[in-house]
Homo-oligomer: A and B are copies of this chain.
Amino acid sequence: MNIGQAASRSGLSAKMIRYYESIGLISPAGRNANGYRRYSDDDLHRLAFIKRSRDLGFSLEEVSRLLTLWQDRQRASADVKALAGAHIDDLNRRIAELAGLRDTLQELVDHCHGDGRPDCPILKDLESGGCCRA
């Protein structure tokens, strides 16, 4: 199978597959006589694993560790759980941060007339650094 088919069947782009190879996330694909990359069903399986991991928000660095654990028949499930747990913590931190921004902004928006007049508490806050919160 050439890269195009591996791409469409894994859900990745050909560009991404080449990139993953270039950074060492996957080992270099075999080549046909014409120089085209060749992919086996096993390779495809690995690509789909990567795709799914990325969809769940794991960074390529984390995907790399997941791949290693996946290939390792001696792995402890605790290691996988720890990796996933750390990622969940990370997601929660980012969610809390975004929610904090949203709440601050929402409060500002709530106090803005939103009419044709120029007076605007949102700009006032941006100007002065805010008066009522950290």
A residues near B (Cβ < 8 Å) are 45, 48-49, 52-53, 56-57, 66, 69-70, 72-78, 80-82, 84-85, 87-88, 91-92, 94-95, 98-99, 101-102, 104-106, 108-109, 112-120, 122-123, 125-127, 129-130
Contacts and interface: CB of A to CB of B under 8 A. Distances in A.
B126 A77 contact: no
Given A95-B99, A106-B88, A76 B115 contact: yes
B81 A122 contact: yes
Contacts of A76: 115-118
A65 B115 CA distance: 18
Indicate how many identical chains form the complex: 2
Given A105-B56, A127-B70, A119 B81 contact: no
A97 to B, nearest CB: 9
Contact of A109 (B49, B66, B84, B125): B84
A104 B123 CA distance: 39
A69 B127 CA distance: 12
Given A48-B129, A78-B114, A78-B115, A88 B102 contact: yes
